[in-house]
Structures are given as structure tokens and as C-alpha cells.
Amino acid sequence: MEAELRHIYDSVIVRFGGELWIKRPWTRKLYERRLVRNIKNVLKHYDIPYDQIVRRHGRLLLKTGSAVEVAQKLARIFGISSVSPALEVGSSRLEDVVDRSVFFAGHVLKEGNAFAVRCRRVGDHSYSSLDVCRVVGRRILEEFGEKRNLTVDLEGPDVRFGVEVRDDEAFIYSDVVEGVGGMPLGTQPKVAGLLSGGIDSAVACWLVMKRGCPLVPIYFDNTPYTDKSTTERALEVANVLFDWAVGFPGRIYVVAHGENLKEIIENCSRRLTCLLCKRMMYRVAERLAETVGAEGIVTGEAIGEQASQTLANLRVLNQAAQKYPIHRPLLGFDKAETERIARKIGTYETSSRKAKGCTAAPKKPATMATLEEVTQAEKKLEIEKMVEKSFHSSRTLSR
């Protein structure tokens, strides 16, 4: 049955994310163009053939003989609310719509199925949407009702047929693949993301990508306080995120940070180690953000998730960033919410893999540090020299 359906599909209906509708016409047009470009990049990347992409109000229609595969790939593109493999009717005449619907139903409906018909219609026609539902439903019952013991159930059907009529075109489908929504990637400026490889940072980075921001991931290598297992995990997580950004550069910045930690441990109070470490990360990230033309820095911090993430400590951390805002998409999330998203986007398994934790973390970290005590501690460090050395130590790795 699945093989038969793959054979009869010849189109894919692409529905835009709802937020595109609140944009002004010119902005919406630009976003749609970006979305089309992203779709073409994905199809080219996976070497999936298609004939054309046609724009319609609130829709994109793809002509392809690989509709099922296309729908699966496009559901992972930001800015798409849902997709449906579909069969084109060839005209919008009611007789043609009914005939093709019956043909389609013959391939979809199984013994004992309950079904419903839904119609969405745009344009001027001699019939209403309700007419389509009634006539198509009646014809399906006449053709297959007794043979396959079919019933109509408008509330909870086993199969829901969709008929989409747009001016002189019509399409039939039975499957709606949920998309990720959001905004087309590339419609917003780039952001630098602090990617540790753990669950939180990966989800935070994905969330800003969903809002249209291309990501420039930065990984701080804490060797010898961590080892290659931590680095490998971060790089694998980055690759998962890159799969959500086909057509955009798949590069991650790796910064040597172990010497900074060594200086902090040897010269400053141990209870402040994590705060001083993160403040240093922010400073280096600002230099890299400036280099790549990013508009902000993204972290996976959430209120109270760790000792360094109390509101008091987050305020202290913020003061280290002078030129760029620190964005924290997970600020109000609890761990269960974050993990659900991680599973959905495919980073959870890799992020949960055992890796060496940072041995520089103190046993009793400060939870209510003040800016004054932190800045006093930093006077014992050559901050500018450390930032410069870390910045120039950075290397880029491409997938």
C-alpha cells in the first residue's frame, strides 16, 4: 500500500509558518523567497529531483515524483508549519476533483476504515467547500463502502482526506506531516552560540535557529580539565544542528580555554572559578562574534539550573559582555521541557552520552556572588592578554 501511494503522488503542498502572515507584504515576500532558497538547498543536498516550485497565496506547491521523501525533508525546514504529499487533479472542475478523489481513496482506504473529507477552497467556483465534502464522501461510499465495510466519522476518522482547491488547480492528500514552524533560517542576523555539547546549550542554539538566526557555534576546550570525549561530543552535537541548517556554513569555532582555567584556579578564590571562567568565555565570544558579524551571543543558561545560574550570578556574568547582548532562550525552562525538545531535534542521545566533566569546578561554588568581589578577583588576572591569546588560539572545524 505504501509503495502504491509513493507511486501516485506527484506533488507536495507546503504550508507556511503562521507568523509569516503577520508580516507586511514586502517583508513576507522576502521571507518566502528565503524559504524557497532554503528548500532548494535541502533538495540539492539530498539529491532529490523535482520539476518546479510554484508559489501560491500561503502555500508552495512542489512538483515531484519523490513526494514522500520530499515531505519528510521539508518538515525539518524552519518556517514551514506542515507538508503533505499530494495528487494533483489537473483542473478544479468538480467532476474531476471527485473522480481523482475516488481514485486516491481506492489506494488509501482499508477494510473497516472510517473516513472524513475536508476541503479548503480559494477562488471562484460553481460549488462550495461543503459540496466537495458531500459529493466526494458519497462517491467513495458508493464505490467502496460495502466492499470494504467503510463508514463516515467526522470526529475521529481513521483516514482524513484533504481536498485543496485553488483557482483552477486542485490537490488531494491524506497525510499532514507536522513541520517545525518558526521563521525561515537566514531571515534574521547571525548569532554566536556557546555550545558545550550538553543538553541545554544545544537546545538553546536550536531555538534561536528556529527564529531565523544562522548559528556560529563556539566550543571552549577545557583540556586538561576535560578530555577528548567532551570535545568529540560537542562536535557531534554541532553536526546535528548543522543538519537543521542545510545550505548554511557548517563551521564551529574551537577555543583553547584550559590555560585560562589554570590561571583562574591558581590566582583566584576557588568558589569563583565557574563565574570567572564564564566571564572569560563571554569576552572571547564577543571577539569572535565581532569577527563573524553576529548580533548576539546565545547560551543555554536557565535560572537556577547550576550554581553559576542564579539570578545574582547571571547579573554578574552579564557585566562581562560589553558589546553584545547575551541571549538565554532557556531562561524560564525546566529540565524536562528542555529534554523534550532535545529528543525532538535529535541532540538528546549525543548530549546525554557520558563524557568527562570539568574537573576545574569547585566543590562549593559561589551562588550569590557580587560584581565587586568578582572584579576584585579579576584584578589578579591579565584579562586582556588572556582574551587575546584565546581569540588567536581559536580554530575552525568544518563538518
DSSP class per residue in 200-236: HHHHHHHHHHHTT--EEEEEEE-TTSS-HHHHHHHHH
Nearest-10 Cα torsion for 348, 350, 353, 355: -120
pLDDT for residue 4:
57
Answer whether 377's CB lies under 8 Å from 268's CB. Answer: yes
pLDDT for residue 7:
80
Q: Letter for the amino acid at 392? A: H
CA separation for the pair 135, 130 (Å, rounded): 9
CA separation for the pair 165, 143 (Å, rounded): 23
> Domains of the chain (ranges plus CATH)?
2-181 (3.30.2130.30), 191-398 (3.40.50.620)
Rounded to 5 degrees, φ, ψ at 68 are: -65, -45
CA separation for the pair 270, 360 (Å, rounded): 9
Answer whether 135's CB lies under 8 Å from 94's CB. Answer: yes
* Residue stretches of the chain with pLDDT short of 50: 1-2
Q: Which three cell numbers stand for residue 145?
A: 463502502
pLDDT for residue 3:
52
Which tens digit of pLDDT belongs to each residue from 189-223?
999 999 999 999 999 999 999 999 999 999 999 99
pLDDT for residue 1:
41
Answer whether 214's CB lies under 8 Å from 186's CB. Answer: yes
Which tens digit of pLDDT belongs to each residue from 96-139?
999 999 999 999 999 999 999 999 999 999 999 999 999 999 99
pLDDT for residue 172:
97
